[in-house]
Structure 1
Amino acid sequence: DSSALDGVPANTQVDGLVVGFTFHDAILSVANPSDPSKVTLASLAKEDFAPGFADTATIGSTMVQVRITQITKSFVSVSMKDKPDVESVEVGQTVSGTVQSIKSEGKLQGVFVFIGMDRSAFLAWEECSEGWGAKNDLKFGDTVDVRVLKIQDRADTKDVYLTRRPGSLERPDPLPEAEVNNEAFKGVSQETWLDGTVLKLIKKGAMIKIMSPDGQDKAVGMLNSRMFSAEFKKTAAPGQQVKVRLELPGGNLTRGNAQKIELTMKGVNEPADAVDGD
């Protein structure tokens, strides 16, 4: 019962008694340092063993000092290694973490991953898999291997962002509002194909930076998943170069009060997909 460690923060050092082994970890009996009568079981993964531990540990007699890395309702995980400091984490580094929470609504959609630091790192929805629209297979408590995508300075700490995508870690910058010129696209024919760059992938589709036919002006368009090509669904990635055209007829650029120009990858007489992707 992990409630035995209620109130004990992550990274607290505790004593553990080896009570068993599995193929993947050691099972320890650990006590609440403030109340040793409260005892629970904890998992010590092989990758968190200290050198020589596997060769010398004996069930029922080996006591070790471990660091609590995570406490949930269903399990406790510990490590014999020092707490990683954000200063020691580097962009491009591969790390292993545990899914701590999943955020599926609002502007910030993705997975918070505990990688042993004081603050969880963030794996955005678009960074969870290759392509677009793959069902997120991650669940609370899952172990996941990720790469450090970027580290962003804040006033008193640093935020770590992660990716499961292979390849380059370069990502496009948002288009500054001062550079957005929707008016330049009002006279563009629906049949004209425009050069675009994928800025961001979201559950509704993709945000695309588009260039006017003369290459002088820019805007940001919304490419709904119904308007994707079949190939783009498989290959979609931030920074990808694409060809799109204006979706709406009659010189209309946006729907209602929306600020983003509606785009499509479909041919002029090709219908949209029947249902929005999820």
Structure 2
Amino acid sequence: MSAIADNTDGPVEVVKVLFALFPQYNTLDVAGPLEVLNRSLHDAKDKATKGFETQFAGTAAAMTSVQGLTIKADMDYEDANDELEDFDVIIVPGGEGVFDVLKNKSEPLGLLTKFVELQEKNPAKERTLLAIDTGSLILAQQGLLEGLAATTHPDYYTRLETICQEAASRDLSMRTDVMEERYVVNNARFDLGENPDDNPYIVKKTREGANMQHARRKSIARKGSNAWRESRRRESIARRASMPLGGMRVITTGGVTASLDAALYLVGSLVSHESALEVARAMQYSWVKGVTVDAIDV
């Protein structure tokens, strides 16, 4: 199991994160979350209590971004697929290379599908899929956003809607709500209380079948909630298994700086809210909250 903030039953496990790289990824989509996650500590006074361990998978030994930054891959995709069960989080960046991935049907498409299959087979494990910027188009192509809400870079809202609609028609599945947000979280891990409809921190999605309008909407959810502190994080494995993608947490973000916001959300969810606030303070960054869907916003 991944680490969660209120785990008091012995040592907390390090959350293992895999960055799924491809040629011409966007530098900040990788560097931003990497900076945030590497700064996260369970104990702010003890640098040995790191919350995350990060690795890189690539289609080549050295992966070069649109801006010319080269990152050495820790493994190729064949090895990444073999070791996939070891990872708690996969991060997919955006960038110009996204469109080559879609055109060529290349990695990380297969890796992401297998990651979801693992979750559906074992919903007891807490896994997260985070797509930055136009990386959400890759998830959409694989049908991984069906029945969920999502966002992307503002210039690509229409493109995301189109890909999601095509995927839903192809798979005879549910549509995707494309939202204009910094980040959107699906399948969060929080107890909603006895009457979720009365909770002001929830964006409640409803389904009306074919008559539902395909209008993009701005969320009216209240942001910046600390309500998770009052929740006891209870959840039913059976309930999680019945959710889309086996209850996998799926996060999509807007443009490049939104990657920082979503990474801080991950820290708050998997380490602690205090750790996320400390990382933001140390980076002199103002955390802009996104929204969760059918769950409590942190």
TM-score range, shorter chain: under 0.3
Q: Give the structure with the higher percent helix.
A: 2
Q: Give the structure with the higher percent strand.
A: 1
User: TM-score, normalization: structure 1?
Assistant: 0.22
